[in-house]
Amino acid sequence: MPLLRVTTFKNEHLHSAQEDLEVSYSIRCTLTSSIIDDIVRSNVEKRPNEIKADIYRDYGISLTYRQALRAKERALVEINGLPDQSYMLVPWLCNRLMETDADTIAKWVASENNRFERLFIAYGCSIKGFLLGARPILYVDGCFLSGPYQGTLLATSTYDADNELFPLAFAIVTIVFDRNNAIIGAVRAIFDGDRHAFCYRHVKENFSSEFNKVCRGMGRNSKEEALKLLDYIAYARHEHKFHIAMKNLRMFSPQLARWVENQGDVDQWALSLFPF
């Protein structure tokens, strides 16, 4: 039995086949990568929403946020190469930096299977500037890196004679289990922990997070009051005023007062307790 049978054939066409042909265009990142490549080259900080607006304004093409994001990621790969290829250049980069300036320190460490673990760079000009004209105070902080390999960027800076931030050294590490304890341990190992103060802004942010846990539902005004009480604790110039401020916080919230007391580092950020 035949699968197909033609019963009637009319060899007459009154319209073209294209009139009934509907083509649904699916705009994908690969089709616009060359356009977005130019956009990203001119401004690598351009956000996906800005790329969407540029593409629609200049070419009348509508992209979703995800399409714009993927297209930007592809363009960055075309410009910078794959991240794992960049890691392969780290040893060469360190050697070239030290060859160019003998005072520069550039060290990298890899695991037994030659996998990147950490990198430290201090430019010779930064070291000289710190020794000759900067304040003898170091500020150490870190931030998490985004991307497929993540890790943590650590930076050390100081203030110069013009009261401007002066960068001294940078480090990238792949894993930091506890950023604060890692920094504290490193400072103690190098400087014996002498006169190591904590950034009060970070303390205040952690305190704010603790307030959200233990004082949920108390409202914005209560949170502002709690933060003011913490300011009194931090900026009290005499120890007896510090104890008065702690008493006021304890009356406001015993849980928050215990959080401050149990941190074990109040003397590293409270003015009246810091060992000048």
pLDDT tens digits for range 40-65: 888 888 899 998 898 888 888 888 89
- Domains in the chain, number: 3
In a domain, 3, yes or no: no
Going by C-alpha positions, the residue among 75, 84, 13 that lies closest to residue 44 is 75
> What is residue 47's three-state secondary structure?
coil
Give the Cα separation of 92 and 108 in Å (integer).
Answer: 10
Out of 191, 219, 235, pick the residue that ends a domain.
Answer: 191
Q: Is residue 6 part of a domain?
A: no
Binned at pLDDT 50, 70 and 90, residue 193 comes out as low
pLDDT band at 74 (very low <50, low <70, confident <90, very high): confident
Q: Looking at the structure, tell me whether residues 224 and 136 fall in a common domain.
A: no
Residue-range definition of the domain harbouring residue 262:
200-268
Percent pLDDT > 70 in the chain is: 82
Top-confidence residue, 259 or 3: 259
In the chain, what percentage of residues exceed pLDDT 90? 30
**Where are the strands (E) in 86-227, listed by range?**
105-110, 116-122, 139-144, 152-159, 165-173
66, 128: one domain: no
In whole angstroms, give the CA distance from residue 105 to residue 98.
7
- Nearest one of 101, 100, 106, 102 to 118, comparing CA atoms: 106
> Span 75-81, mean pLDDT?
83
Assess whether pLDDT exceeds 80 at residue 148: no
Decide if 273 is inside a domain. no
Look at residue 28 in the predicted model and tell me its pLDDT.
Answer: 47
For residue 128, is it within any domain?
yes
Tell me the pLDDT band of 23, cut-offs 50, 70 and 90: very low
Statement to judge: residues 133 and 180 lie in one domain: yes
Are 48 and 72 contacting, i.e. CB atoms less than 8 angstroms apart?
A: yes
Name residue 186's beta-bridge partners: none
Cβ-based neighbour number of residue 233 at 10 Å = 25
Tell whether 184 and 228 lie within a shared domain: no
Using only C-alpha atoms, the chain has a radius of gyration, in whole angstroms, of 30
Does residue 60 sit in the same domain as residue 117? Answer: no
